Every structure is written in structure tokens, then in C-alpha cells.
Amino acid sequence: MAKKALAVVSFGTTYPEARRAIEILERRLAQAMPDYDFYRAFTSQMVIRKIEREEGIVIPNPAELMEQLRAQGYEEVVCQSLHVIPGIEYEKMCRQIRQAAGTMCVHIGKPMLYSHEDYIETCKALLAEMPELKADEAFVYMGHGTEHMVNAAYSQAENTFRYLDAERVYVGTVEGFPELDYICKRLKAHNVRKVWLAPFMIVAGDHAQNDLAGDEPDSWKSQLEAAGYETEICMRGMGEFEKIGALFEAHCLNA
């Protein structure tokens, strides 16, 4: 019988408690693919190095994992991405996998947001986890952002919320457009008093803990409070949500 492996690939995080969201998704995917041996890889070399240095845990990048699987005699590998968008990290993952796969038959699962239907399902999943907003409240998500052209995904996500009649749900980014100044304009236009803040990320790691909810004056929480808004933090990575897990599982099975 042919040896088959499931490789679940994420950006990774150096926050052990935030890694729970990745582990929830990994367990779900492993259960959905019982005939495949489970393996993990991270795409961030910085995260990989820090985890090895501080925790003594060695996690391979996609290329290293493919080389290991090839050496162990695997013939088929399903690689499921846990990235949010098909951006720089996803493309790097695909490139590393294809270059290192050799003669193995490799299938790559899509990231969270790829098709129009993915946006609909993602936004529905997030709406199901939100509190019921009062007339003077808004819900603000912080995404990572990217120089890649797929950065437009964040604006599409926000417009999908509007399509689903969620007028006061906004999506900004740390490293791209829309930034916090865009969010502030939307809050002012809708006479918002209280802002709920949450990461539009698989894990509630460094960006969520510091850029979103940190006590430093440049965090989104601090800037919004300085502008007179009441804030409340929802510190959960999207990977913890049941319906987001179902979306990744569907992508994996489709691969």
C-alpha cells in the first residue's frame, strides 16, 4: 500500500498559547484524513528559529518536510495551507513544496480566502461568533496586510460583511490598506461609541497581543481609546472557530 502523508502548513506563531488555534485545525484535518500520516510545517523561518531557540522544538519549513517525506518513502502528500490569503507566504509555500517534492504526488489545499464562496462562508462564520452589536457599537478586525496584490482581499472581506447586512463590521490591516485611519473615518461616520477589536488572523499571536490590544500608545486599542472610544477585546484566533475549521477541512478534502 502506498505511503500517504498530510502536511498541514501554517505561518506559525512564537506564542505557545496562540498555537492552540493551529492545533485545533491540525486535529480536525488529521481526523478528516485518517488514511494519511499527519505532519506539521511552518513557513516563517523567524518563528521556526525562535521556537527552536526558546522551546527546543524543531519544526520544519515546507521544503524540509518534503525532503523528509521523500526520504521516508511517501508517494502521495496532501499539503493543506492554514494561511488566510493566497499571498507571499502561500506562494512561498507552494514554491518550496513543488521544488522539493521530487517524484511524490502532491496536492495543495487552498488558503482560507480563495473563492467568492470562501468570503461568504468566512464572514458568516465570524458573524456567528460576534456579540450582538448595539446601535452605537462596531466590530473591527485587524488583518496582517501585505505588499502582495492580494491585499485587496481585506477590502473584499469587509464588503462581504456589508453584503451580509453587517454595516458596522470593518476590516483593517497592520501592514497594508486599509489602515486604522480608514477605520476611524468609518467609526466617526456611524457615530460609534464602543469598538470591539479582534484579530482577522488564524492565531491571536504577536500582532493581536501587541499591535491590536497592547498597552503601548501605538496599538489600535490605545489609539482608539485616546480618540474617545470604549474598547473591548475578543482575543481569539479564527482557527478556533468551528465553521472556519469546516472551511479548511473542505479545502483539504477538495485538494
Rounded CA separation 255/247 (Å): 13
Question: What are the two backbone dihedrals, phi and then psi, of residue 107, each rounded to the nearest 5 degrees?
Answer: -120, 135
Rounded CA separation 91/150 (Å): 11
* Strands in 75-223 per DSSP E: 76-81, 105-109, 137-143, 169-173, 194-199
Residue 6 near residue 57 (C-beta atoms within 8 A): no
Question: What are the two backbone dihedrals, phi and then psi, of residue 232, each rounded to the nearest 5 degrees?
Answer: -145, 135
Question: Locate cell 518550496: which residue?
Answer: 96
Is there a catalytic annotation at residue 190?
A: no
Please identify which of the residues 144, 190, 207, 251 carries the catalytic annotation: 144
Rounded CA separation 10/93 (Å): 9
Half-sphere exposure (CA, 13 Å, Cβ side) for 204? Answer: 18
- As annotated, the active-site residues are 144
